[in-house]
Structure 1
């Protein structure tokens, strides 16, 4: 604008006015730059806050699930004393036939409350056990293959929680309202690599539209799969996403040397 002919003509005839105009234009541009920078910075902070809120909500829900499981175990342990007292009474009264059905009922109750997955890794045991209960209540077939050395895992509990928690929630949500739904969870250490593989059925009905990019398909929320990728890369690994024959799968591979 300052180099246009009318303005340059003003510079020749009224140089002081031209100088004031030039200073004003530069001031306006400088203010616009500051305002634009503040807007971009605000949007960046807003996005980071949204991600943190999403993760906090995710962690809260997981802690709540663990808390409920712990309460169930404490409740059973509280009742165990009464069960033993009843069985002692049966022995004292020589009612031995009553002990067997009663003990079987206790074992059934224990199996429904106890953490059935016992790999030695608290995160894996908690999340996979919860998945087992969730899948059973929803009629989802679940298959697990958990063969890993807990002493040499290249992923700490924090990133394990993000990766496994998001992937399992993803699989559950993908199987929602699906007939003959199946989930396969494999956690293994082999060939100097640690891998987490979660696959689930994902049948697209005629009324549904297939996603344009399965690499970004997230059945939980906008940040779940992205957080999985970020945690995998932070641990020195990578994430592979596939969809074939109505099976959606995500595999996280981390070298043992990382």
Structure 2
């Protein structure tokens, strides 16, 4: 039994006890079980908990306090404060979840900051390396022209421009952190044999969001797209494509992301951007990215729409051009 199931079992037992103490004289035993089971099932489906981040010690401490509250309710309290133990129990659960979610958020932000710093350093290293070698390339081309080898010089220049274009696609006009995310996604795609097309009428950095929000938004979009393309390539044995378009129309910034995708169950598609814990991936994936994307869009009065048709997944985001 995993930790999450143990967690839901414990509040269920505590909740059953408190309800039975309060309403045992009017509710049959089996009805109390049905009510508690229904509440636990509903909360399990709608609330994404991160209690593991608190560790065993703090969770056991909070469970210990709830046990004490349970013993208090056994002592035959007066009617006017008989609800107090149950309210304390609910309050402790609220504290546990709020605390765990805050710790998770801080840990995630720290990890993202470290990853962004590493990506920025890598992108800067690439640009610095290209600049360092630029004069050497010019000297090589000059030598070929001096020795009447224009075809060799043209071929060399074409290869040079192509290599520079890979970096230019990611960094032109972008802030450092956004450029690093685009560049790292491009490198990951190239390593996996995925074609990435950045069709950007203007830099993504012009979105009326903070750099941190843009990085989170674009990072999750690209990560999900690349994950889907990698899975698609394994089964279909064909090259896949990710297309990112960004333009401005009628006071709206419009961001479009398209990629190949394996079929997704309708049940998951319906809830993909509306709740945590919904994911098309297996393993240890938590299904956080899609809900985070929608939260950021709604936080900035934007609109999100997505279509899964055939074996293509498309996300369209519209954000008002106001800060």
TM-score > 0.5 by shorter chain? yes
Cα distance in 1 for residues equivalent to 2:291 and 2:306: 12
Superposed CA offset, 1:131-156 (max 9, x none): 33222221112233211377964333
Q: Equivalent of 1:157, from 190, 193, 211?
A: 211
Provide structure 2 residue ranges, at least 5 long, that are not aligned to the other structure: 1-20, 26-74, 234-238, 273-277
In 2 relative to 1, CA 251–67 (structure 1 residues): closer, same or farther, beyond 3 Å? same
Cα distance in 2 for residues equivalent to 1:149 and 1:243: 27
Answering whether residue 196 of structure 2 is matched by residue 137 of structure 1, we say no
> 1:36: Cα distance to partner?
3.3
Alignment-derived partner of residue 247 in structure 1: 312
In 2 relative to 1, CA 101–136 (structure 1 residues): closer, same or farther, beyond 3 Å? same
C-alpha contact (below 8 Å) 1:152/1:256 kept by paired residues: no
Q: What SS does the aligned partner of 2:231 have?
A: coil
C-alpha contact (below 8 Å) 1:66/1:126 kept by paired residues: yes
Q: Equivalent of 1:232, from 294, 297, 300?
A: 297
- Structure scoring higher RCO (CA < 8 A, sep ≥ 6) equals 1
Q: Equivalent of 1:62, from 116, 127, 131?
A: 116
Cα distance in 2 for residues equivalent to 1:132 and 1:192: 29
TM-score (norm 1): 0.71
In 2 relative to 1, CA 54–86 (structure 1 residues): closer, same or farther, beyond 3 Å? same
Alignment-derived partner of residue 187 in structure 1: 246
In 2 relative to 1, CA 221–31 (structure 1 residues): closer, same or farther, beyond 3 Å? closer
Superposed CA offset, 1:88-113 (max 9, x none): 9969xx76759948964982695277
Moved more, 155-164 or 210-219: 210-219
> 1:75: Cα distance to partner?
3.2
Cα distance in 1 for residues equivalent to 2:133 and 2:140: 13
Moved more, 32-41 or 245-254: 32-41
Q: Equivalent of 1:201, from 235, 255, 260?
A: 260
In 2 relative to 1, CA 240–86 (structure 1 residues): closer, same or farther, beyond 3 Å? closer
The count of residues paired between Structure 1 and Structure 2 equals 235
> 1:239: Cα distance to partner?
1.6
Cα distance in 2 for residues equivalent to 1:85 and 1:136: 27
> 1:249: Cα distance to partner?
1.7
Q: Kindly name which structure, 1 or 2, has the bigger radius of gyration based on alpha carbons.
A: 1
Cα distance in 2 for residues equivalent to 1:222 and 1:177: 16
Q: What SS does the aligned partner of 1:222 have?
A: coil
Cα distance in 2 for residues equivalent to 1:145 and 1:102: 26
C-alpha contact (below 8 Å) 2:241/2:259 kept by paired residues: yes
> 1:53: Cα distance to partner?
2.5
Q: What SS does the aligned partner of 1:34 have?
A: helix
Provide structure 1 residue ranges, at least 5 long, that are not aligned to the other structure: 5-20
Q: What SS does the aligned partner of 2:169 have?
A: coil
> 1:185: Cα distance to partner?
0.7
